[in-house]
Amino acid sequence: MSSHQHHPGEQGPAEDHAPSGEDLAALLTRVLDQAGMTQKELANKAGVSYPTLNSWIKRTRGTSRVSPETLRSIAAAVSASGVKLTPREIFQAAGRPVPGPTDAEREARLLKLFRQLPEDKQRDLVKYAEAALRLSHTSPA
Question: Residues 83-126: pLDDT tens digits?
Answer: 988 888 999 899 887 766 667 667 877 888 899 999 999 999 99
Amino acid found at 141: A
- Give the three-state DSSP class for 53: helix
Residues in Cβ contact with 44 at an 8 Å cutoff, skipping those fewer than 6 apart: 50
Over range 22-26, report the average pLDDT.
Answer: 92
Residues in Cβ contact with 114 at an 8 Å cutoff, skipping those fewer than 6 apart: 122, 125
10-49 as b/e: b if 16+ CB within 10 A: eeeeeeeebeeebbbbbbbeebbeebebebeebbebbebe
Residues in Cβ contact with 34 at an 8 Å cutoff, skipping those fewer than 6 apart: 83
Closest CA to 27 of 78, 73, 65: 78
Most confident by average pLDDT, 19-23, 46-50, 82-86, 133-137: 46-50
Query: Would you say the pTM of this structure is higher than 0.75?
Result: no
